[in-house]
Structure 1
Amino acid sequence: MAILPIIEIPDPRLRLVSEPVAGVDDDVRQLIDDMFETMYDAPGIGLAAIQVAVPKRVLVIDLQEQEDEEGKPVKAPRAFVNPEILETSDEYSVYQEGCLSIPEQYADVERPARCRVAWIDRDGERHDEWLDGLMATCLQHEMDHLNGVLFIDHLSRLKRDMVIKKLNKARKAA
Structure 2
Amino acid sequence: MKFPIIAYGDPVLRRKATAIEPDEYPHIKELVENLYETMYGAHGVGLAAPQVGLSMRLFVVDVSSFEDKEPELKDFKKAFINANILEETGEEWAFNEGCLSIPDIREDVYRKPTIKISYYDENWKHYEETFSGMAARVIQHEYDHIEGKLFTDKLSPLRKRLLEKKLTDISKGIVDVEYRMKFPAAKKGR
Counterpart residue identity of residue 61, structure 1: V
What's the CA shift for 1:172? 3.9
Counterpart residue identity of residue 5, structure 2: I
Question: Counterpart in 1 of 2:110?
Answer: 110
Contact 2:98–2:107 (CA under 8 A) maintained in structure 1: yes
Relative to the length of structure 2, the TM-score reads 0.81
2 CA distance for matches of 1:83 and 1:173?
A: 32
Question: Counterpart in 2 of 1:14?
Answer: 13
Change (3 A) 1:124 1:10: same
Ranges in structure 1 where 5+ consecutive residues have no aligned partner: 68-73
Superposition pairs for residues 17-166 of structure 1, below 5 Å? 17-23=16-22, 25-65=25-65, 66=67, 76-166=76-166
RMSD: 2.0
Instruction: Specify which structure has the bigger relative contact order, considering alpha-carbon pairs within 8 angstroms and separated by 6 or more residues.
Output: 2
User: How much identity, in percent, do the aligned residues show?
Assistant: 35
Could you report, residue by residue, the CA deviation over 1:101-153 in whole angstroms, capped at 9, with x for unpaired residues?
A: 00011000111110001110111111111111111111111111101100000
Counterpart residue identity of residue 107, structure 1: E
Contact 1:103–1:167 (CA under 8 A) maintained in structure 2: no
Q: Secondary structure at the match of 1:129?
A: strand
Counterpart residue identity of residue 3, structure 1: K
Counterpart residue identity of residue 104, structure 1: D
Relative to the length of structure 1, the TM-score reads 0.88
Change (3 A) 1:173 1:13: closer
Contact 2:86–2:117 (CA under 8 A) maintained in structure 1: yes
Contact 1:81–1:121 (CA under 8 A) maintained in structure 2: yes
What's the CA shift for 1:75? 5.4
Question: Counterpart in 2 of 1:70?
Answer: none
1 CA distance for matches of 2:82 and 2:169?
A: 36
What's the CA shift for 1:161? 2.4
Change (3 A) 1:106 1:118: same
